[in-house]
A and B are shown apart, each in its own frame.
Chain A
Amino acid sequence: MDVKNVSPFMAAFNIVMPRLGFREIRKGDLQTKDKTFSGSGVIIIVGMVGELRGNVAYVFDTESAKKIAAAMLKVTNIDKLTEMSKSALGELTNMLTAHAATAFAAMKILMKISTPTCIEGDDIEITMSSEKVFCLQMMIDDSTIDVNISFEN
């Protein structure tokens, strides 16, 4: 798994998030993780298949999920994550992964993306398919999204 496969996701955040009205988009830590790690809140997984095969798991802690969904739905706040708010987050991850796929295409790596799967819960153990996973942390205004990127060799 090559670190150059992370930059299309950063590019996607920089294009998609301002269009949705988010003002400050910053890159946080970039680290490698083992294939199994844990997450709580909202986890959305999107498959990518083509010249590379893999998955991206977006992990939103509950508060970040509420804030980002509220901004997308243009409401001041969300008390509880409803189907509507999770649909908004699903649409966001779909847009981000589609834009990442476009950035990969510019690198001559063609891929298509699956529909997202959205899971909410606490202390969920996630096992990706590659031995090493890149975790890119993105700060969006006062929220955080962990982008776990896993491509097979």
Chain B
Amino acid sequence: MKNVRIVVVDDSALSIALISDMLEQNGYEVVGSAGGLEEVKEVITETMPDLVTMDMTMPGTDGLECTRAVHAINRDIRVIVVSSMMDDEIISQAKRNRVSGYIQKPVDEGDLIAMIERVMSAEELFNVLKADYFEVFKDALRDGLNRLTKTLITYQEEYLCETEYTAEGIAIMIGIIGEFPGKMLVSISKSTAHVLTTTVLKREPKSNEEIVETMSEFANIVAGNACSVLNKRNRAYGLRVSPPSVLSGENMRISPLNYPTYTAIGETVFGKMLINVGFKRGEIEAWT
């Protein structure tokens, strides 16, 4: 696991010293500490840690307000609450504020280290998925098309998609669940879908419904195969796909909804095809 940089937030100098010692003795790098809201904002902005240990009760503020301040600076920083207070209501509030874990004082060194390892290994797993998934889905689209039609796709354009894009014709949406949720969307024009269906069925499609069914099955094969390849690389992903939903229309404006996805547009003998895929870093949770 990479070097994990940690900030310790607590209004007690003794607690900061005890927690910092535990962390450093276990190979973690304590890059700063804070005892109130303004100090939290300063130290997080300066150090950009991977993880924060957060006390719950502090003069003039609390751990939840400080957690929100941390995530306002960087949503990806993980927060583990370390507090003497612990009940169902506080845990529920902590979850709503995107706290990754909760551990009660007095801190057991083994529990704290195990929790940090769980939270950070999930983070690392997501980074591996992020590095791999787009190529795997592009390969699955290429292989799926080749198996069904003995033709090829040549990718011409690829980009990180952070803003709205427009799809014309048919868009097939498949949801993905697992350790990290995601989605895949394949979009093609109606004329491309018609020719592709004719080739797959080796006859003219009898109805628009038959085209939609063929395209749904095609997208289902692509997403299913891609998730299988990723699951073989690491079973911990546990990816599974939802049944396809198909949208047909002109000028369908598709939003990324606050998390980046990747798009590739390829040329085939049937026309252009667009594939868009994304996974979201889930709320990693580790509760004692």
Bound-state Cα–Cα, A152 to B259, Å: 29
- Binary per-residue interface labels of chain B (229-273) against chain A in the complex, 1 for a CB within 8 Å, 0 otherwise: 000000000001111111111111111111100000000000000
Q: Is the CB of A49 within 8 A of B242?
A: yes
Q: Is the CB of B251 within 8 A of A121?
A: yes
Q: Is the CB of A114 within 8 A of B242?
A: yes
Asked if B197 CB lies within 8 Å of chain A CBs, one says: no
Interface size on A, residues (CB 8 A): 38
Interface size on B, residues (CB 8 A): 40
Q: Is the CB of A119 within 8 A of B242?
A: no
**Which of these, A43, A45, A91, A120, contacts B175 with CB under 8 Å?**
A45
Question: How many Cβ-Cβ contacts under 8 Å join chain A to chain B?
Answer: 124
Say whether chain A's binding surface is mostly helix, strand, loop, or mixed.
Answer: strand
Q: A114-B181, A121-B250 are in contact. Are A57 and B245 (CB under 8 A)?
A: yes
Q: Is the CB of A115 within 8 A of B248?
A: no
Q: A115-B280, A126-B247 are in contact. Are A87 and B176 (CB under 8 A)?
A: no
* Inter-chain contacts of A112 with B (CB < 8 A): 177-178, 181
Q: Is the CB of B240 within 8 A of A49?
A: yes
Q: Is the CB of B254 within 8 A of A48?
A: no
- Binary per-residue interface labels of chain A (74-100) against chain B in the complex, 1 for a CB within 8 Å, 0 otherwise: 000000000100110011000000000
Q: Is the CB of B257 within 8 A of A124?
A: no
Q: Is the CB of B240 within 8 A of A121?
A: no
Q: Is the CB of A127 within 8 A of B246?
A: yes
Chain A nearest CB: distance from B175 CB in Å? Answer: 2
Q: Is the CB of B249 within 8 A of A121?
A: yes
Q: What are some 18 contacts across the A-B interface (CB < 8 A)?
A: A36-B212, A47-B241, A54-B243, A87-B258, A90-B258, A112-B181, A113-B177, A115-B182, A115-B183, A115-B259, A115-B280, A116-B257, A117-B175, A118-B254, A119-B167, A120-B255, A124-B249, A126-B247
Supplied contacts A86-B257, A115-B181, 4 more A-B pairs, CB within 8 Å = A46-B175, A49-B175, A121-B250, A126-B246
